[in-house]
Chain A
Amino acid sequence: MTKYRIETAVGIFVLAGLACVAYLTIHLGKVELFGGNTYTINARFNDVTGLVAGAEVQMAGVTIGHVDSIHLRPEDKTALVSMQIQKDVPLDEDAIASIKTSGLIGDKYIKISPGGSDVPLAPGALLTDTESSVDLTDLIGKYIFGGVK
């Protein structure tokens, strides 16, 4: 009887522990259990200063995906950003991706402005209509050293 009680207690402990592990890894760690819920879109930027992998991708203020990886394209020395977009959000061919900052000192994220054409982007396609991040120090430098006409 005592043995049965100990086994029950251990069973409850393991279940509670596994529930906590599941909450941490699946909910907070954003593990995609059944994969294939997203598709990849690439975008080419002149400058991605401050953007990191894992940053949000938003459309109209709603999160629709995240940045997967950032690489340098050797052929034209631009930054290639790979994004995972939710499958139920189709993007048009002429959508514009711009790098924005939430607040003055907040994190960088990518804002997608929907396009007007009805031609959807295929998974893995390259977005070329992009706006790079605004470099605040660069901007201030232009004011100070008279670059502004």
Chain B
Amino acid sequence: MESQPSQFFLHPAVVGRRTLALIGEFGAFACFLGFGIRSIFTLPFQFSKIIQQMYFIGVKSIFVIALIGLFTGMVLGLQGYYTLVKFGSEGLLGAAVALSIIRELGPVLTAIMVTGRAGSAMAAEIGIMRISEQIDALDTMDIDPIRFLIGPRIVAALICFPLLTAIFDVIGILGGYVSGVALLGINKGIYFYRINSSVELTDIMGGFTKAIVFGLLVVTICCFEGYFTHTRAGGFGAKGVSLATTSAVVLSCIFILVSDYVLTSFLL
């Protein structure tokens, strides 16, 4: 019998095996996403489950989003002021704060915060349902688990992410106002005039496009990791759920930042 090459040796067979495993994982992910999206459009719509998920993803995240937005805006105002004042153009602070929040920080930080707060909980909840065989029970009762568990979460994320991003943007701009105008004494009229004259509709639409893509990515990755907890190597039961939660958060954050780069290069 042919001996298996060592895992740590860069043997072509090892590279091939890992590549195939990676492609298989991507394929499973794409199928999961496809089934999830298809389940959104199957009747009857699950309004009450969507409302529950929106409460969990959206309403319960508002406080943390508002706090992060306020302080992000404030620190941008502070840093921007001390950079711009060297060139005597501190009047541009409004534009600097608003554009960096609307284009980049708003969607990205919102997605990362929601991943940490709601995505991890989603992965753990679905993972526990999997290891306590509740998902198999759903299957036995002829209820489609993807439609029952994943569909409402995808819809809720698609609605909540842009709304949370909008809230983050507005509070972030107010944060910049607090540090720039109220604390450092820039003219209030100039601050808002610069924001008005520099922000274009394409910037805002770009931000919302990012928020929608991040929402879809985060919710699918987190549900995927939870849903396939039982097939994960390296741990079963409680350990499997903890590993699934960790990798859901880490993968979501990586995919948010990578897709942010790709989207920005398309949108600019």
Known pairs A10-B58, A13-B58, A28-B195; A20 contacts B51 (CB<8 A): no
Of the candidate stretches B115-123, B160-168, B217-225, B228-236, the one touching chain A is B160-168
Structural contact, B201 and A20, CB atoms closer than 8 A:
no
Question: What are the residues of chain A within 8 A of B51 when measuring CB–CB?
Answer: 6-7, 10
Question: What are the residues of chain A within 8 A of B102 when measuring CB–CB?
Answer: 24, 28
Residue of A nearest to B52 (CB): A6
Residue of A nearest to B156 (CB): A10
Interface residues on A, range: 20 to 34
Residue of A nearest to B61 (CB): A13
Most chain B CB neighbours (cut-off 10 Å) among A3, A10, A54: A10
Q: Is A29 an interface residue (CB 8 A)?
A: yes
Instruction: Give the Cβ gap from B47 to chain A, nearest Cβ, in Å.
Output: 10
Q: Within the complex, which residue of B62, B170, B196, B197 is in contact with A13, where a contact is CB–CB below 8 Å? A: B62
Interface string of B45-65 (1 = CB under 8 A from A): 000100110110011001000
Interface string of A1-18 (1 = CB under 8 A from B): 001001101101110111
Q: Is B200 an interface residue (CB 8 A)?
A: yes
What are 13 sample pairs from A and B whose C-beta atoms fall under 8 A apart?
A6-B52, A9-B55, A13-B62, A13-B160, A14-B159, A16-B62, A21-B162, A24-B166, A28-B102, A28-B204, A29-B200, A29-B204, A30-B200
Instruction: Give the Cβ gap from B61 to chain A, nearest Cβ, in Å.
Output: 9
11 additional A-B residue pairs with CB within 8 Å, beyond A14-B58, A16-B163, A25-B204: A6-B55, A10-B59, A13-B54, A17-B162, A20-B167, A28-B98, A28-B102, A28-B196, A28-B204, A29-B200, A30-B200
Interface string of B188-218 (1 = CB under 8 A from A): 0000000111011101110010000000000
Instruction: Give the Cβ gap from A107 to chain B, nearest Cβ, in Å.
Output: 8
Instruction: Give the Cβ gap from B161 to chain A, nearest Cβ, in Å.
Output: 10
Residues of B within 8 A of A (CB): 48, 51-52, 54-55, 58-59, 62, 98, 102, 159-160, 162-164, 166-167, 169-170, 195-197, 199-201, 203-205, 208
Structural contact, B62 and A24, CB atoms closer than 8 A:
no
Known pairs A14-B163, A17-B164; A24 contacts B169 (CB<8 A): yes
Known pairs A28-B98, A28-B195, A28-B199; A20 contacts B54 (CB<8 A): no
Structural contact, B54 and A10, CB atoms closer than 8 A:
yes
Structural contact, B163 and A24, CB atoms closer than 8 A:
no
Question: What are the residues of chain B within 8 A of A56 when measuring CB–CB?
Answer: 197
Instruction: Give the Cβ gap from A55 to chain B, nearest Cβ, in Å.
Output: 9
Known pairs A28-B98, A28-B195, A29-B204; A16 contacts B55 (CB<8 A): no
Structural contact, A21 and B59, CB atoms closer than 8 A:
no
- In the bound assembly, the distance between CA atoms of A3 and B55 in angstroms comes to 11
Residue of B nearest to A22 (CB): B166
Structural contact, B163 and A20, CB atoms closer than 8 A:
yes
Q: Is A125 an interface residue (CB 8 A)?
A: no
Interface of chain A residues 58 through 111 with chain B (CB within 8 A): none
Instruction: Give the Cβ gap from B152 to chain A, nearest Cβ, in Å.
Output: 13
Instruction: Give the Cβ gap from A35 to chain B, nearest Cβ, in Å.
Output: 14
Q: Is A122 an interface residue (CB 8 A)?
A: no
Q: Is A134 an interface residue (CB 8 A)?
A: no
- In the bound assembly, the distance between CA atoms of A31 and B200 in angstroms comes to 9
9 closest A-B pairs by CB: A17-B163, A29-B201, A20-B166, A28-B199, A20-B170, A21-B166, A13-B59, A9-B59, A6-B55
